[in-house]
Amino acid sequence: MKRSVRNFIGGSWVDSATGGTFESVNPADTAETVATVAKSSCADVDNAVNAAREAFRRWRLTPAPKRGEILFSAGEILAGRKHELGELLTREMGKVLPEALGDVQEAIDMSYYMAGEGRRLAGETIPSELPDKDCKSVRVPVGVCAIITPWNFPVAIPAWKLMPALVSGNTVVFKPSSYTPACAAMLVGILGEAGLPAGVVNFVNGSGEETGDYLASHDGIDAISFTGSTAVGLGIAKTAAEKGKKVSCEMGGKNAIIIMDDADLALALEGAIWGGFGTSGQRCTSSSRLVVHRAVYDRFLDMFSAAAKKMRLGNGLDGKTDVGPVINAHQMERILKYIGVGTEEGAKLVTGGKACREGVCGRGYFIEPTIFSEVTPEMRIAREEIFGPVVSVIRAEDLDDAIRIVNGTPYGLVSSIYTGDVNKSAIAERELDTGIVYINSSTIGAEVQLPFGGTKRSGFGHEEAGGRGGGLDMFTKWKVVYRDFSGRLQKAQIDR
């Protein structure tokens, strides 16, 4: 069934000011249009920002535990509609259904987690150096936040941003990816159903270059929370700096798994297949590099290619499918170009390397799971984010060499090491320059109660999600209050 996705402004679903639309299409079957979507103009963004500004006056004064209760209700509704939303997600984005359900589950987890924050949001009380004076710090909302998200986690990533923003008392203008608007609309609808007052979340659709750019630079926006490519993220960070807005950009990755000679190779194989080809390699945390100790390189490569060759491509709603499509024609072309670059650079194509256009793959954007061996760390396929089912296998001499290789790209999102030696795992944990390190586990598996973010070109600004240093730091400012009840002028640092 084709859906109609309208904008959501000031509590009402509305067409765009111009009446223009665009379509979102099933990447596994391009004959299926998933939704016809409102194409926003600058006037729509202006309306959304004005509605958010108006709603901020009341929402910031709503007690945080009450805000949390609404998020808890949203979590309950999401849980009840998990399957429906998961299926829509597979149709619109392509990932296999179990992963789509995991995407929705992350949003449920984040709703409940941030609902609980409504009863915490703690600041500090600290003694004053002067008598009859007290001091405290309190978290206050930043204001109106722009939330701009990619297509690869169309429910989880918006929820990672919306839930901490809302519980902190901010109002929001949310622009999702043009490739997954129907999933985003369902999430917004659920927040409305949960009891969010009109204008607290506003939702505008349209292209990144027009709607996204106009929103990010809008004078009525106080903070921007962006997830997407490094190129776009750095542009947004620049705009934010010029305009004095708070900003957080979660960006690309070139994540790696180290496999040592003492690793459990069967376990490492499962992690490499899951990390390399899960979500068709389209996770910011995908394991696009395997850095393998030379003593087990050949043996592991044989195991890895044999397992990859068995993977079945197809529609993610079919329970037999291991690997779904990539998102669109542009991405498909880009990935195939990178495969050509790998061959030209002298890497050895072990398996895959082509688009699949036969049988169930005939009407979608499918690429075979692809492995390159004999990859050296300087090659472009070892340094640049491909964002598809392409894995480069690199030989390492020893642990130091492996760590040097992993750290040798401009990115720093996730790394992992498989080893049976606790000392090696400790050295890796200390030396790997990434925001997240996994030991004896793939590069995938973040949980909402910890911060999420990368170093170098993978992250700029604040981490996301929960825990100390997570999303609440992005969506709140500290206000410090000194109260002097001495009845006389007291001078800090001077009265001694």
Which residues bind to ligand NAP, rule: CB under 6 A? 148-153, 157, 175, 177-179, 207-209, 212-213, 216, 227-229, 232, 235-236, 250-253, 284, 385, 387, 413, 454, 458
Q: Among residues 150 and 169, whose Cβ is nearest to ligand NAP?
A: 150
Packed helices 156-167 and 64-80: angle between N→C axes, nearest 10 degrees: 160
**Smallest distance from the beta carbon of 336 to ligand NAP, in angstroms?**
16
Interatomic CA distance for residues 16 and 280, integer angstroms? 34
Residue pair 135/125 in contact (Cβ under 8 Å)? The answer is yes
State the residue for tokens 């597979």.
90
Interatomic CA distance for residues 213 and 27, integer angstroms? 26
Residues in the chain: 496
Q: Among residues 250 and 368, whose Cβ is nearest to ligand NAP?
A: 250
**Smallest distance from the beta carbon of 38 to ligand NAP, in angstroms?**
13
> Is 284 annotated in the active site?
yes
Residue pair 351/369 in contact (Cβ under 8 Å)? The answer is yes
Q: Among residues 237 and 347, whose Cβ is nearest to ligand NAP?
A: 237
**Smallest distance from the beta carbon of 123 to ligand NAP, in angstroms?**
28
Q: Which residue is nearest to ligand NAP (CB)?
A: 208
Interatomic CA distance for residues 129 and 348, integer angstroms? 68
**Smallest distance from the beta carbon of 458 to ligand NAP, in angstroms?**
6
Coil, strand or helix: which one is 47? helix
Which residues have a Cβ under 8 Å from the Cβ of 279 and sit 6 or more positions away?
A: 95, 99, 152, 286, 324
Q: Among residues 133 and 383, whose Cβ is nearest to ligand NAP?
A: 383
Q: Among residues 284 and 361, whose Cβ is nearest to ligand NAP?
A: 284
Packed helices 82-93 and 64-80: angle between N→C axes, nearest 10 degrees: 70
Q: Which of 250, 385, 463, 464 is catalytic?
A: 250
Q: Among residues 12 and 207, whose Cβ is nearest to ligand NAP?
A: 207
Q: In angstroms, what CA-CA distances link 51 with 40, 44, 45, 125, 342? A: 15, 11, 10, 35, 49
Coil, strand or helix: which one is 263? coil
Interatomic CA distance for residues 356 and 30, integer angstroms? 14
Interatomic CA distance for residues 241 and 365, integer angstroms? 38
SS (H, E, C) 313-356: ECCCCCCCCCECCCCCHHHHHHHHHHHHHHHHHCCEEEECCCEE
**Smallest distance from the beta carbon of 492 to ligand NAP, in angstroms?**
42
**Smallest distance from the beta carbon of 103 to ligand NAP, in angstroms?**
11
> Is 87 annotated in the active site?
no
Q: Is the dihedral of CA 233, 234, 236, 240 positive or negative?
A: positive
**Smallest distance from the beta carbon of 239 to ligand NAP, in angstroms?**
8
Q: Which of 249, 284, 356, 361 is catalytic?
A: 284
Bridge partners of 174? 147, 203
Q: Among residues 251 and 317, whose Cβ is nearest to ligand NAP?
A: 251
Interatomic CA distance for residues 227 and 244, integer angstroms? 19
Catalytic residues: 250, 284
